[in-house]
Structure 1
């Protein structure tokens, strides 16, 4: 069984019955099972020096060493450890003093136990975020990846992608949800697989595509059902949450969930429990939730298309995968990888390709991202016969795909091109600027430059000749 949280929670009280009841409540109500118990306050400092403890619940009234004295020592010698004070007396002055000394919170034993459990859960989340921030800072400052093997399936040399990898390593031990954003085809499922590998969880990665699932199918898929729950349910079935126990549940296309399904997912995240269809007995979820979407959930929750409370639950940890057009340096790496992969599957020798092919691809927006590039490579290999790979398959794919630019590319055409306080250039000046820029992007390849400009190659040649004759070099 996986331990939660990643750091230990030390319960300190001289009453064995209270320690036992609190331990049971934490495990049942919060899924918190990484627990250490201590009845003798004199042993606490030794335990803190020996074990990986992140949070302490501390009774104030104990023999030998009082809770207040112990609180001061913990704050002084172990400032990274959080402390929650639990007292048998409701004393405001004492509570204020404990907070001044550095305690996270103060509870009275006679309070409702659910209130104490929620306070401990809140403190755990704060400690997790604090540790993750420290770890993230360390990784970025050192520019390190401690587990590069987890990202072996992600072909990239991009700095932004490396930052994503470093972030994933930092939040890997967390039990909180992870939200993966990015356009279709960028590799969100590969990122989810890397996050699962980094987590060290012993359970499996279970993937569910939420797109197109109505509320009943969603509930049955995730939570399973009891026998007789509905017509045709002649035997019980475990849902995906149960199948992913001690592992990771990956929900793809979460932005397409119906409002009713969003409520069910919110309860799963908030309470950590669920009800199989036809059952009135809750089950505890033991899977970490990772979700992905190509939608802008921030915009969707603002216009009412996605629940705000669910959105804020999901975004505790989040990464955004940049589209392929923003990491053009990866295109040659991915092309080599996909061509070799396709050649192996088709029983062919990996081909060479014209040097202008990467230039052609670098000037395409790739609305389908990495998935589209892979399809191009496989299509080209399927018709490949000679030693050098033909560019025709790529040219046809680009010609058919160019009108369908993603929304972000369409929006970019609306930005201001000319400074409002500067005079407008003439049509001839604009045409010359376009020609120069197209030749620069095409690395002097006239065939590619003419495609970028939407004119024929002879027409471009004429414009280039005019530029040279007028004394202006094209580049």
Structure 2
């Protein structure tokens, strides 16, 4: 019988089956798993002959198996179980400390072996490892299935994210496959790419009954971080006249989203690491811990992998947080979305300002397609609203994009950036050949609008016109570029 059938939130998503003929050990082990590990999706079997039937009728991911039982021994059941259910992890918890028996069980396919007198903390860590392995295996299987089938089970959860990009569709498929995991999710991407929208979508399909609680941790000193996340007891510090619950408790049964995690101070990083490792925390002024019942999402626009290599971010915390990690592509990497998003924002702006939505010229689309949008979707939205506010009548042109006129058409390359790469085994093109290649590419990107192509190349429109005429004359006369 499931001991937690009446509970709203079960962890893990799959069941843990305890097979032991001693009811007292069932009770003590079950209480330890619930109180110290938050593991409450438990099933109990006192008769080893019924274990296989329970595996048939329930979604079991981990079996905690005793060896010395009447009717059918644990070793006999282990052989049957690993053959019939090879994807289930079996942890042996035996009353006997025998090395030969432990080796034999591992050879038969057991995940791990513990003695009942083992320290509870060590046993709990071993069971947690088995759970995490099963979660990762199931998520990998689900991800493989989604990628191969190219399907989304909950497309409505992503409806606030306008896109027709294949790269974004792959992101959505990955997020669906890890949405029901209990492990942290790290959302990486440049500012303005919509990381909070992603967090909302994953929370919506996570199946969690609690709410999504968001906090930007950038600039929080250690005490404010402590108080914000963990809360405080009355009298914990000067001014603490009443007890206050922290955001970890507010997000209980749901998701806690920590934005700008790369700006977290080292002392606060230690507290977050302990929260993830132990699954418990102390409100300020409290002498008894509380268990965390929320899943953690974090987001950053920084390169945390580089930060941890440089010692600016704790390595152990980084690896705890990036169990599941997704990189949101910048807008310049999904240019097929630019027209869709600009039209949406422009219509939104027109409705907001009481104006009719305008028509758009090919010149405008060419100009937008050849801008790098360092501010991503947030910048595109601002550009659309500004253009609608300035537009008077007729089709909207590139000249209406004041914010675009104030910036260079392409992202300014850094000192060591390489815009063009050449295969080392091939000959270098001549300057004349490169001139022709650049002009043709610029005209293609500008939809053959000479004004836009000239802006891309950084030359005047008359200068481009002369070069095009020379290229046409050379082609007509059969002259190859020098």
Return the TM-score normalized by structure 1: 0.95
5 Å-filtered alignment, 1:370-385, equals 370-385=377-392
Deviation at 1:412, TM superposition (A): 7.4
User: How far apart, CA to CA, are the structure 2 residues paired with 1:466 and 1:335?
Assistant: 37
Q: Counterpart of 1:200?
A: 207
Partner of 1:456: 460
Equivalent position SS for 2:208: coil
Which of 7-16 and 339-348 deviates more?
A: 339-348
The answer to whether the 8 Å contact 1:376/1:393 transfers is no
Contact 1:13 1:40 in 2 (8 A): yes
Distance in 2, matches of 1:420 and 1:10, equals 60
* Partners of 2:9 and 2:209 within 8 A in 1: yes
Q: Does 1:152 align with 2:159?
A: yes
Q: What is the correspondence of 1:186-265 to structure 2 with a 5 Å cutoff?
A: 186-265=193-272
SS at match of 1:47: helix
Instruction: Report Cα offsets for 1:371-392 as digits up to 9, x if no partner.
Output: 1111111111222332422433
Contact 2:191 2:301 survives alignment (8 Å): yes
- Give the gaps of 5 or more residues in structure 2: 1-7
Please name the residue that 1:397 is paired with. Answer: 403
Counterparts of 2:475 and 2:297, CA distance in 1: 60
Could you tell me whether the CA contact under 8 Å between 2:367 and 2:398 is conserved in 1?
Answer: no
Contact 1:367–1:404 (CA under 8 A) maintained in structure 2: no
Q: Indicate how the Cα distance of structure 1 residues 425 and 61 shifts in structure 2: closer, same or farther if over 3 A, else same.
A: closer
CA deviations on 1:212-237 (whole Å, 9 max, x unpaired) are: 11111111111111111222111111
SS in 1 for 2:30: helix
Partner of 2:5: none
The answer (yes or no) to whether the contact 1:266–1:310 under 8 Å persists in 2 is yes
Secondary structure at the counterpart of residue 373 of structure 2:
coil
Question: C-alpha distance in 2, partners of 1:401/1:385?
Answer: 22
Structure 1 range deviating more: 160-169 or 336-345: 336-345
Structure 1 SS opposite 2:372:
coil
The alpha-carbon distance between structure 1 residues 405 and 471, as it changes in their structure 2 partners (threshold 3 A), is: closer
Does the Cα contact within 8 Å between 1:178 and 1:289 map onto a contact in 2? yes
Distance 1:199 1:421 in 2: 51
Please give the residue correspondences for 1:274-423 in structure 2 after superposition, counting only pairs within 5 Å.
274-394=281-401, 396-402=402-408, 405=411, 410=414, 413-414=417-418, 417-418=421-422
Report the aligned-residue RMSD.
1.9
Match of 2:44 in 1: 37
- CA shift digits 1:127-159 (9 cap, x unpaired): 000011111111111111111111101111111
Greater shift after overlay, 45-54 or 345-354? 345-354
Counting only pairs closer than 5 Å after superposition, residues 70-109 of structure 1 correspond to structure 2 as 70-109=77-116
Q: Structure 1's 419 and 14: CA in aligned 2 closer, same or farther, altered over 3 A?
A: closer
Deviation at 1:399, TM superposition (A): 3.8
Bigger shift: residues 263-272 or 212-221: 212-221
Structure 1 counterpart SS, 2:414? helix
Task: Provide closer, same or farther for how the CA distance between residues 141 and 411 of structure 1 changes in structure 2, counting only shifts above 3 A.
Answer: farther
SS of equivalent to 1:410: coil
Specify the SS of the correspondent of 2:121: helix
- Cα offset for 1:363? 0.9
Aligned residues of 2:371 and 2:411 also touching (Cα < 8 A): no
State the 1:418 CA deviation: 4.6
CA distance in 2 between partners of 1:127 and 1:412 (Å):
44
Q: Which residue of 1 aligns with 2:4?
A: none
Change (3 A) 1:314 1:147: same
Match of 2:474 in 1: 470
| Aligned mate of 1:437, from 434, 441, 459 | 441
Q: State the Cα distance separating 1:435 from its structure 2 match.
A: 1.8
Q: Check 1:443–1:313 CA distance in 2 against 1; reply closer, same or farther (3 A cut).
A: same
Q: 2:13 aligns with which of 6, 12, 22?
A: 6
Q: How many residues align?
A: 471
Aligned residues of 1:367 and 1:401 also touching (Cα < 8 A):
no
For residues 57-115 of structure 1, what are the alpha-carbon distances to aligned partners after superposition, in whole Å with 9 as ceiling and x for unaligned? 00111111111111111111111211111100001111111111111001000111111
Asked if residue 127 in structure 1 is aligned to residue 127 in structure 2, the reply is: no
| TM-score calculated relative to the size of structure 2 | 0.94
TM-superposed deviation, 1:393: 3.9
Residues of 1 paired with 2:416 and 2:165: CA distance? 22
Per-residue Cα deviation, 1:195-221 (whole angstroms, up to 9, x for no partner): 101101000000111111111111111
Q: Gaps spanning 5+ residues in structure 1: where?
A: none
Matched, 1:273 2:277: no
